[in-house]
Amino acid sequence: MSLITYRQALNDALRSEMLRDEDVFLIGEEIGQFEGSYKITAGLLAEFGPKRVRDTPIAEEGFTGAATGAAMVGLRPVVEIMTINFSLLALDQIVNHAAKIYGMFGGQARVPMVIRTPGGGGQQLGATHSQNIELFYAFVPGMKVVAPSSPADAKALMLAAIRDDDPVLVLENLSLYNTKGEVPDEDVPGEIGRAKVTREGSDITVVAYSRMAAVALEIAGKLAESDGIDVEVVDLRSLRPLDRDTVIASVKKTNCAVVLEDDWLTYGIGAEIAATISDGAFDWLDAPVRRVAMAEVPLPYAKPLETAALPSADDAITAVRETLDATARRR
Amino acid sequence: MPPNAAARSARATSTSTARRRRPAPDTTVSSAEALGFYRQMVLIRRFEERAARAYTEAKVGGYCHLNLGEEATVAGLMASLDETDYVYTNYREHGYAIARGIEPGRVMAELYGRSDGVSRGWGGSMHMFDVASRFMGGYGIVGGQVPLATGTALAIDYRGGREAVVCVMGDGTTNIGAFHESLNIAALWSLPIVYVVINNGLGMGTTVEQSSAEPELHKRAASYRMASARVDGNDPEAVYDAARTALAGARSGKPYLLETVSGRLKGHSVVDPATYRTKEEAAALKAADPVAAYAVTLHDRGLLTDESIAEIDADAMSAVARAVEFADASPHPDVSTLFDYTYATPVPNDSRRLPGAALYPAPPRPGAEDAGAVRIGAAR
């Protein structure tokens, strides 16, 4: 184990897979000479050369589609889309093509491609550069979408995504890149399609993914100390497929739940989780499922406005306390 | 300018350069090849006419776009390819699939939505795919195939292969961003690909001149310093020669844009009566019918007789009849296979729920969850 950043864990996974498999190559804007807008690909051009670390024109639809076409004949491209906001320019190639090709042609062509892209606000980047639209891809059968929240998961899920024979979108997060954690030195791929209970608890279930799953662990520690509340945290990790059973098992134990999400509330991931809990654990619930999500506005630039719009640890703490109050069994 | 005037004028301007007589022996299409083109063209003509009939009989669903009028381009272009080359097309691709050597029965079975169809009944008219013949798909989204084809050319280059990619598209596709992004990438990276624009003068009913500020579409290549040419798409030999030239360039790392000019004899799809055309325009298209014209050409050369023309037609008719028989006899895909093609590899928690099924069908009462609970959404 080594204590490294989320950024380093991703870089390690990319490098390791490129060393292991000649068919793995990186493609995207500014990933070579510039070493990536967020430096995830630092050092890789120098080590592997321009054939395997390919700087592209600013043409998301073109290079994402090209990666798909290369994957259809057996290469294993890892596409960097600088931020998830720019993936909208490649939406047709991702949704209408990468996600459809295996099924639409009766299973004749696989698309072993990875799209890695960060979401996240809070950097004063304004409305077009701060979105969390992973839902667009998690909505689509044929896509796999993973959302690691820790450096260890970032490495494990990136390894799994690159070795997977289907298109996988790996959702990174701007505010997680510098977070640190213990990461195994050896390469152990994670399992796509499985959630993980990252903290066991008995009082309330908090379901989250990506940045908010890290926030969930943070507030669980605080609430244990300040209120003696024993929070169980379910980190979804995989948005499609969605591991509903792990959520249901947790809610059947705690009898109440809060969902933390960085996306907008209406039609969001939290809505799907709340509906799942209603389907699978209706009679176990002692309180309505509460969702903490971004304010439904185009995210403003001005710091006080941006801060007000984004879900925070304090928002999560309030939601947990109020949900427990609603169960009428809070200590 | 009335619809199709652009296509007609394009044809008129192209004939002087494109319809050159081939003097050099190594580029001359042999008699056998010429007859092969003709047979292919007749087969596609008869197949498409039969597909239209099957559509009216409700044997074929969805959209159905035919290659009627495009036969010469299909035959010449597909004959120019090596077996190991890759072909990407759009949604008007039945003829290309047949010319690539896919059994007409499997193409018809796909139209019928049957399990022996080229795409196992999952694609339909617009989405024919055959991995064995490197026929990399018909695509229903205009321009969708262009980045994909470019990526396959990238993969060839990555592996140092000798193959090339041919990417077929319609005239309207040249106005889509993906077209320009892809040509730029192919030129920058010297990829082995030939982009072929089938200019039939019309999108659905909108003319090339109404939609393209530079209606001589091959000239778009200049923006990417890419070689290009316009050729008479009603002449299979001219298309063949032009495609051979383009492919030779592509194999040496010089991508190419080839524009073929031909007519669309019927509407955009089977259900389009093409009321936007005048009677005169329709008559002019019929007069330029490439199948009839090529029959005359080969007859004049002494390669065809009235008898052999009738024979070739009868052969095509019986091949199409066999294709229909095969399609009709092929089973519908079993509903139990509905979830077989979402993912290439099994993944936990993949949903296999049918529309009316509850996610958690067990009675949601505490303590009752294990009694008779059946999970539809279980992992494979």
Contact A193, A157 (CB under 8 A): no
The mean of the pLDDT values for chain B is 90
Does the beta-carbon distance from A62 to B147 stay under 8 Å? yes
B338: contact with A, CB 8 A cutoff: no
Confidence of residue B370 (pLDDT cuts 50, 70, 90): low
Residue B155 Cα, gap to closest chain A Cα (Å): 5
Mean pLDDT for the stretch of residues B186-205: 97
Q: Is the dihedral of CA A80, A86, A89, A92 positive or negative?
A: positive
Mean pLDDT for the stretch of residues B90-94: 97
pLDDT above 60: residue B374: no
Closest among A251, A270, A254 to A315, alpha carbons compared = A270
Q: Tell me which H or E stretch contains B259.
A: strand B256-261
Does the beta-carbon distance from A104 to B377 stay under 8 Å? no
Q: pLDDT value at position B139?
A: 98
Cα first-last separation, chain B: 60
Q: Tell me which H or E stretch contains A104.
A: helix A101-104
Considering only CB atoms, A65 lies closest to which of B155, B178, B344, namely B178
Helix (H, G, I), strand (E, B) or coil at A234: strand
Neighbours of B171 (CB within 10 A): 26
State the Cα–Cα distance between residues A165 and B341, nearest whole angstrom.
12
How many contacts (CB atoms, under 8 Å) link A and B? 182
The interface residues of chain B toward chain A in range 64-93, judged by CB-CB distance below 8 A, are 86
Domain boundaries, chain A: 2-183, 196-327
**What top-level class would CATH report for the domain A196-327?**
alpha beta
Supply the Cα-derived Rg of chain B in whole angstroms.
Answer: 23
Neighbours of A279 (CB within 10 A): 15
CATH topology of A2-183 equal to that of A196-327?
A: yes
State the Cα–Cα distance between residues B7 and B215, nearest whole angstrom.
10
Q: Are strands A238-240 and A144-146 parallel, antiparallel or unpaired?
A: antiparallel
Mean pLDDT for the stretch of residues B63-75: 97
Contacts of A330 (CB under 8 A, 6+ apart): A321, A324
Domains of chain B, each with CATH number or no CATH: 32-331 (3.40.50.970)
CATH superfamily of A2-183: Thiamin diphosphate (ThDP)-binding fold, Pyr/PP domains (3.40.50.970)
What stretches in chain A show pLDDT beneath 50?
Answer: 331
Please calculate the CA angle B102-A105-A21 and round it to the nearest 5 degrees.
105
Percentage helix, strand, coil, to 5, in chain A? Answer: 45, 20, 35
Closest among B197, B233, B221 to B19, alpha carbons compared = B233
Q: pLDDT value at position B379?
A: 43
Does the beta-carbon distance from A61 to B147 stay under 8 Å? yes
Torsion of CA B319, B320, B324, B330, to 10 degrees: 50
Bond into A241 cis (ω within 30): yes
- Chain centroid to CA B222: how far? 25
Considering only CB atoms, A280 lies closest to which of B149, B350, B359, namely B359
Q: pLDDT value at position A121?
A: 85
State the Cα–Cα distance between residues A87 and B113, nearest whole angstrom.
33
Does the beta-carbon distance from A165 to B345 stay under 8 Å? yes
Q: pLDDT value at position B366?
A: 60
Nearest CA in chain A to B157: A51
Chain A residues whose beta carbon lies within 8 Å of the beta carbon of residue B342 = 102-103, 141-142
State the Cα–Cα distance between residues A172 and A129, nearest whole angstrom.
14
Chain B residues whose beta carbon lies within 8 Å of the beta carbon of residue A281 = 364
Contact B64, B125 (CB under 8 A): yes
Q: Tell me which H or E stretch contains B266.
A: none
Question: Strands, DSSP E only, in chain A?
Answer: 2-5, 24-28, 53-55, 76-80, 114-119, 144-146, 168-173, 180-183, 196-199, 204-208, 231-235, 238-240, 257-264, 290-294
Write down the H helix ranges in chain B: 5-18, 31-56, 71-79, 94-99, 104-111, 145-158, 177-188, 208-211, 236-251, 279-287, 290-300, 306-329
Does the beta-carbon distance from B342 to A165 stay under 8 Å? no
B343: contact with A, CB 8 A cutoff: yes
Neighbours of B374 (CB within 10 A): 10
Contact A27, A63 (CB under 8 A): yes
Q: pLDDT value at position A330?
A: 56
Considering only CB atoms, B147 lies closest to which of A57, A93, A164, namely A93
Does the beta-carbon distance from B344 to A57 stay under 8 Å? no
In single-letter form, the type of residue at position B309 comes to: I
Residue B235 Cα, gap to closest chain A Cα (Å): 31
A282 beta partners: none
Confidence of residue B9 (pLDDT cuts 50, 70, 90): very low
**Phi, psi values for residue B333, rounded to 5°:** -60, 140
Contact A33, A55 (CB under 8 A): yes
* A219 half-sphere exposure, CB direction, 13 A CA radius: 28
What token pair was written down for A79? 């596409």
**Phi, psi values for residue B360, rounded to 5°:** -130, 85
The tens digit of pLDDT for each residue in B336-349 reads: 999 999 999 999 99
What token pair was written down for A130? 């701060």
* Distances B52 to A17, B56, B141, B211, B272 between C-alpha atoms, Å: 50, 7, 22, 28, 11
Q: pLDDT value at position A300?
A: 96
State the Cα–Cα distance between residues A40 and A177, nearest whole angstrom.
9
Report ipTM for this prediction.
Answer: 0.96
Torsion of CA B304, B307, B313, B314, to 10 degrees: -150
Cα first-last separation, chain A: 39
pLDDT above 60: residue B87: yes
Confidence of residue B363 (pLDDT cuts 50, 70, 90): low
The interface residues of chain B toward chain A in range 349-378, judged by CB-CB distance below 8 A, are 349-351, 358-360, 364-366, 369, 377
What token pair was written down for B114? 């049957």
Considering only CB atoms, B178 lies closest to which of A62, A72, A281, namely A62
Q: pLDDT value at position A329?
A: 72
pLDDT above 80: residue B365: no
* B138 half-sphere exposure, CB direction, 13 A CA radius: 27
Contacts of B60 (CB under 8 A, 6+ apart): B51, B54, B111, B112, B113, B125
Contact B208, B7 (CB under 8 A): yes
Mean pLDDT for the stretch of residues B169-181: 98
* B29 half-sphere exposure, CB direction, 13 A CA radius: 27
Does the beta-carbon distance from A283 to B365 stay under 8 Å? yes
Percentage helix, strand, coil, to 5, in chain B? Answer: 45, 10, 45
The tens digit of pLDDT for each residue in B131-144 reads: 999 999 999 999 99
What token pair was written down for B275? 């009321």
DSSP code, position B353:
-
A207 beta partners: A234, A259
Q: Which of B46-50, B255-259, B374-378 has the lowest mean pLDDT?
A: B374-378
Q: Which residues of A carry out catalysis?
A: 60, 129
Neighbours of B72 (CB within 10 A): 29
* B81 half-sphere exposure, CB direction, 13 A CA radius: 28
What token pair was written down for A202? 């008995």
